[in-house]
Amino acid sequence: MSGHSKWATIKHKKGAADKARAKVFNKIARQLEVAAREGGGDPSTNASLRTVILKAKGAQMTNDAIDRAVKRGAGVSDGGTYEAIMYEGYAPGGVAMLVDVLTDNRNRSGGDVRNIFAKLGGALAEPGAVGWQFSRRGVLLVQGGDEDTVMMAALEAGADDVADDGDGMWRLTCDPAHVFDVRDALQAGGMNVESAESTMVSSLTVEVTDAEDARKILRIIDALEDNDDVQDVYSNFDISEELMEAVGE
């Protein structure tokens, strides 16, 4: 499992995910508004909106909250005007990061992101410095099953790669446009799909073994994700679950 995914799982076990649910809902609502504004409020003709709605439902956002956000974006009710920006940066240990932002104030968001990196031992990078190694992929985590069974089910469902993530977890990748179709097919076949998302995946992985570097990396991610304008943080680090548990106390 990627380092970021491991950290998200550990935080969920510690109960941090529940505490941050309202913030997650606010971020998804902003994504719904932007998708509806750019492609219209009908998910049957707006693939981007359909994807965000599935993400919202996966996060257990209510239908009413989803509808309100879509209506704001489609101009049925008042909403904000947001700009999408992707910041690039480095964390300690040479770890690359992409920071996906939706903001109504570019200067505020840029300053916030820059300060987080600077205060916690990282640094912003020039556009393109790290982004070249990332590409958008559909990523699914499947719990249980032997390799042959998972491989067969995954390929039949439309996945194009399966990797053992340890602890009985399998990491499947596919075309990002088909991630939810693959999820539905796997679930229909009796597979236990833990998560399914369209995300940015790096072609390079940086293994982090130094505890202090690991602690700084996780603090940068937490601080960025705590910012209301930051929608997602993508990174290429690999930290063992044992080290994460130790430095995340």
* Superfamily of chain region 83-132+204-247: YebC, transcriptional regulation domain (3.30.70.980)
Share of the chain above pLDDT 90, in %: 35
Please report, for the chain, the start and end positions of each structural domain, with discontinuous segments joined by +.
Answer: 3-74, 83-132+204-247, 134-202
Average pLDDT, the chain: 85
Give the pTM. 0.78
Phi, psi angle pair for 50, to nearest 5°: -60, -40
Tell me the per-residue pLDDT of 104-152, one tens digit each, with 9 for 90 and over.
Answer: 899 999 999 999 999 999 999 999 999 999 999 999 889 888 888 888 8
Domain 3-74 has CATH 1.10.3720.10: no
Reading the block at residue 88, the tokens are 């690039």
CA-based max dimension of the chain: 52
CATH of domain 134-202: 3.30.70.980
Q: Do domains 83-132+204-247 and 134-202 have the same CATH topology?
A: yes
